[in-house]
A and B are shown apart, each in its own frame.
Chain A
Amino acid sequence: MTAALRQDEGSDGPPPQPIFLAGAAGPLFCLHFVPTPGKTPRGALLYLPPFAEEANRSRRMAVLQARRLAAQGWVVLLLDPFGTGDSAGSFHEARWELWLEDAERAATWLATTWPEISVTLWGLRLGALLAANLAARDSDRFSRLLFWQPLLRGDQFITQFLRLRVAAAMAAGEKESGQELRARLEAGEILEVAGYELAPGLVTAVSGLRLEALLPALQGCAIDWLELSTAGSEPALAPSSRRLLDSLPASGGPRLTCLAVSGEPFWTIQEITLAPKLLDATDAVFA
């Protein structure tokens, strides 16, 4: 039992080191996974988590994947962005620009701590948009990205996020609409949504994000784009992803390798859920 558990956790390597990095607006909590002693590090990955509650629901998948990659010789840094997890700041103080700057600082820390290896940006959902945005600003520096279920449009994501409050109001026998909530945000109000204090500045920045608009700037970047597919049939990319990928120009832009595997959308599920095939597929990308 213990042995099986250990194997499942991939914990043959050293335990991760909890560290605090100097962020632009306060200390940032990170978990630093290092390769098994004796292995030459092959490269580093910086994990950028998804938004709000999705980050908590995904934490176990991120930790498991980090351990497995470390066992394959990769350095992995899991970042708690400013205002989230154990990092400094409150959620309502978080800003997209700050998250970009802090992610860049974390990448610099990795490059300084592990000279001579390159840093791959690994993002889940909104974290993938953050990775794409950061790489688009500095494509000479970031030449490899890993997307897990990337969000395609920030505005749609905000609409869905605001629905959490609409649904909670429904449960309380009240009625609110996304339109009304947006109007209050536009008027400068901080809104509480599903326990998170949502600031207008962050909403505006996220709403303006389009993966489609960021990808052309990633010329020469290699992107591995992995998605989960719950349907019982053959795993396939979501139709919206397919449409986006088909609309990209045939030349220029990043080199994309896309793959769908079957599994549950663990970032939405209350009970901590794993997607073993996503872990396997990611292992294979970095094998």
Chain B
Amino acid sequence: MAVIDDVKQVLGETLQLGARADGFSADTPLFGAIAEFDSMAVVTVVTALEERFDIFVEDDEIEAEVFATVGSLADFVSQKLKA
């Protein structure tokens, strides 16, 4: 499964988006664009991504650019997986 599909699944589950997440593409804006994506949701998503991909996210990596779009978040995870 491509990383972006896993990321969409995590977003759908943690933000309770249901079928909306299936319609996400790399360009779909996240933070500031989706009402459910508050700071608690950011933390939930980060924790879920850490568990799903067995990665560790540093606090200073939690920045707006990472959460701008579905694609930027998937890129971030891909970078982490290569590291």
Contact = CB atoms under 8 A, between A and B. Distances in A.
B5 to A, nearest CB: 13
Nearest to A176: B59
B73 to A, nearest CB: 13
A53 B40 contact: yes
A230 B59 contact: no
**For the side of the interface on B, what is the size category?**
20 to 34
B42 A175 contact: no
B40 A164 contact: yes
Given A230-B13, A265-B44, A179 B64 contact: no
B59 A179 contact: yes
Nearest to B47: A160
Interface in B13-32: 13-14, 16, 31-32
Contact of A194 (B40, B51, B64): B40
Interface string B37-59: 01111111011000100000001
Interface in A231-287: 238-239, 264-265, 268-271, 273
Nearest to A168: B39
Contact of B16 (A164, A179, A194, A269): A269
B36 A175 contact: no
Given A163-B46, A171-B31, A270 B36 contact: yes
B62 A166 contact: yes
B interface, by DSSP: helix, strand, loop or mixed? Answer: helix
B39 A273 contact: no
A105 to B, nearest CB: 31
B16 A163 contact: no
Contact of A271 (B36, B43, B46): B36
Contacts of B38: 270
A175 B60 contact: yes
Contacts of A162: 59
A167 interface: yes
A81 B65 CA distance: 38
A170 interface: yes
Output the residue of B31, B36, B39, B44 with the most chain A CB within 10 A. Answer: B39
A173 B39 CA distance: 13
Contact of A167 (B14, B39, B51): B39
A268 B44 contact: yes
Interface string A136-163: 0000000000000000000000001011
A170 B40 contact: no
B59 A264 contact: no
B40 A171 contact: no
Contacts of B64: 170-171, 173
25 contacts: A53-B40, A160-B47, A163-B46, A163-B59, A163-B62, A164-B39, A164-B43, A168-B39, A170-B39, A170-B63, A170-B64, A171-B31, A171-B32, A171-B39, A171-B42, A175-B60, A177-B59, A178-B59, A230-B13, A238-B51, A239-B51, A265-B14, A268-B14, A270-B40, A271-B36
Interface of B: 13-14, 16, 31-32, 36, 38-44, 46-47, 51, 59-60, 62-64, 67
Given A167-B39, A268-B41, A270-B38, 13 more contacts: A162-B59, A164-B40, A164-B43, A167-B40, A168-B39, A171-B42, A177-B60, A230-B13, A238-B51, A239-B51, A265-B14, A265-B44, A273-B16
Which 9 pairs across A and B sit closest by C-beta, in order of nearness? A167-B39, A167-B42, A178-B59, A168-B39, A177-B59, A163-B43, A268-B44, A230-B13, A166-B59
